[in-house]
Structures are given as C-alpha cells and as structure tokens.
Amino acid sequence: MKTSLARQQYLDLYYYMRLNRAVEDTMVKLFRQNKIVGGLYSSLGQEAISVGTAYALEKKDWLAPMIRNIGALLVKGVPPRDVFMQHMAKYDSPTKGKDGTSHFGDLENLHIVSPISMLGDLIPVMTGVAMAGRYLGQKIVAMTWIGDGGSSTGVFHEGLNFAATQRAPFVLILENNLWAYSTPVKRQVPLDNLADRAKAYGISSYTVDGNDVVAVYTTAKEAVDRARAGEGPILIECKSFRRLGHAQHDPAEYVPKEMRKYWEARDPILLYEKFLTGEKLLDAKGKKEIEDKIDALLAKERDFAENSPMPPAEFAEHGVYCTGDDCHKIQPKWVRSKAEVTPPKSSVAPVWTVEGFGEGQGSSGGTAPIHFGDTAPQLADQKEEQAPKAPGKAGGKKPARSVAAAPARKARR
C-alpha cells in the first residue's frame, strides 16, 4: 500500500468496503428473518476486489457483476435499497419482484449489465459491449468478474480468445478465492497463477493481493487505462479467500480450520484501517463518522425496502418478453460521425500477405521454417519455367518436370 492517492480516494475505498460489508450483514439478518426469498452469497473477505476494481472505472464505463460483487454495484451508484428489495422480491425492486437474487442491471444510466447465472457467459457479452463502445466512438472500457472455478468453463476460454482477437477494451477480473464451491483450486487447475491463462491468448495479465485494496485499485486503474488506450483486453488475478460457504445454506465444513484462521487475520478492512491509521488518514473520530453515516443510510434503506409491497399476482405475466419500444427505448449513442465507419472511409482492401508460420522441429532434429506444403513445388516449377530450353527440343519443360518428379513418386511408394 505504498502508492500515493488523493486523501479522498483513500477514504472512498474505505467507505465503500465498509458499506459493502454492512449491506451484506443487513441481508444476513433479513435472510434469517425469512424476508429474503432467494439465495444469499457473501463476499466476506473479498470486499477489496469488488470495490478496488470498480473504483478504477469512469462513469461512462460498463460493468457486469457476479454474485459476490455487491461492492462494485455500490461503487457504480446502486442504492442499498435496490439490493435489499431485489433479494426480497419486492415490487419496487429493479426487476419488480421477478428475481430473488442479484440479477438486475441498469443499461440507461449506470451502465450495468445484469449477471448471467451460466458462469463465464458474461465474458463474450462484455467483449461485445466493449466492441460496440469502440465502434460508436465512446472510448469506454467494459469489465466483468469470474471465479477460479468459472475460469475452467469453456466459454471463459472462448470469450477471452474472442476478446483477444478483437483487441477489445475489456478488463477481466479473476477472483481466485481458493474454492470452487467445495473444490480447492489446486484440484481443478495445475497452475500457481491463474493469470498465466492469459498467455495462451497473447494478452497481458497481472497477479495482485486481493486483500490489499490500494494494490487492487492501482492495478485495475493501470489495466483500464491500457485497455482504453487500445492495448486490448487485460486479465487481473486477485488472490483472496472465501471466508463463508458458497451461499448461506453452505457451512463450508470442508475448509481446514487453520486456513480459515490464517485468512481471518488478513481481513482486508482491518488491514486497510491499520494502513490509514499509520498514514494519519483516519483517526477514531473519522472512523466513527463513517460508521454513523453508514448506519443511518442503511436504517433508512432497509425501512424503505421492508415497506415496499410484494408484486400483485396479476403482474406475473408482465415483463416476461421484450415487445419493443414499450419495453425499452435504448438506442446507440454515437460519439463520432457515422461516416467514419461507413463506405468509402471504412473500406479496407481485402489483401493480406502470408509470411509463414514461424519455425518448428525438423526431421533432422533441428529447427525448420514452417510453410505451406505446396510452397517448394511451386518454386521449383517457377525455376523450371524460367530455365532456357534445350536446343532442338520444343517444350523442353516437360522432360525436366518428369525427371524431377520421378524420385518423389518412388519415395512415396
């Protein structure tokens, strides 16, 4: 945590991490009171990842959260009441009570794409968002998250390869929290650093301590700036630990007690408080002010959510299918002239040059250039056609071809 930020930036990171944890603590209470109708997934111990990465984005940028990224939603501007009501399936929730978890977004104002339950599918989706923004001239960056387990899905690799070939302004955050439900990461991937998977697609990657919010933010900010500058997609592996089970129903008894104890001592909020105190950026009075601010906000937001009605039964048929303009009227927002991407300015000559495929292992044991199989015969034919004909023999090329070809046919037999 040596990077120098503005004082308000340091305090913003602290505020959002504390708010992230307080929102989830409130939802645990609501869950135990049977007021939450869906699943509840905790990011306890991982708050620095969601907050630090989302804080690196600009207002115009897009993100798509996963189930443990409530902190990213809060940073982007989602009010806690929306998170509460969404999990309580209330009528005033973003989905009008049609979902009991975090499947909601805001395409018009906050630029949030709704989570997709099929792990990894957000990678090609957000690649498309990034490409669309580039096409429209918006200079945006798109970001999403994936877990260590989700990085083993086929669409993770397909999507990352697609992003790489398109050089999309896209940043992927790989949250390595050591457990894919009950499977330890060492049992699913034979790598020390999951960021190494980026090498297969020729893109840059970082590995960072996911419990150090300043390190997470500064790394993400550098990646976002590079992606925006046209350097293509970037992967960031954030190493952390999932301190609770997969969801509220999972006691996570498969986690060794020693492992849990080690990571509890590395709580990202406690580590950050120690840093802020040591740098004289936070004292007891400032900490109390932030706690009081969060408590007052969440009391108000929780009351609003609990007083929101449940959706009426007759509403069940509404909003199931998008029917056009009466569903939404989101249109592309052009920032540059359309003439730049339409003929004749956009035309590119369909010409390319094949320079070979590099080098490989030759039959003699050394290295040999890799080329198309018909390259050598074509060159031989050209030399024969250019050679002077023998005196008195019309069409001298034919004997030369037959003589040269005979050994090849014999060798094939």
In the chain, pLDDT over 70 holds for what percent of residues? 84
CA-to-CA distance for 207 and 213, rounded, in angstroms? 13
Q: Where are the domains of the chain?
A: 7-317
CATH topology of domain 7-317: Rossmann fold (3.40.50)
277 HSE (CA, 13 A, CB side):
10
% pLDDT > 90, the chain? 67
Whole-angstrom distance, CA of residue 152 vs CA of residue 190: 11
pLDDT band at 405 (very low <50, low <70, confident <90, very high): very low
How does pLDDT run across 126-143, given as a tens digit for each residue?
A: 999 999 999 999 999 999
What pLDDT score was predicted for residue 398?
42
CA atoms of 241 and 153, how far apart (whole Å): 20
Q: What is the pLDDT of residues 97-112, one digit of tens each?
A: 988 888 999 998 999 9
Long-range pairs of 74-77 with CB within 8 A, sequence gap ≥ 24: 74/16, 74/19, 74/20, 74/23, 75/16, 75/50, 75/51, 76/110, 76/111, 76/112, 77/110
Residue 396's pLDDT is 44
- What is the phi-psi region of residue 255: left when phi exceeds 0, alpha when psi lies from -120 to 50, beta otherwise? beta
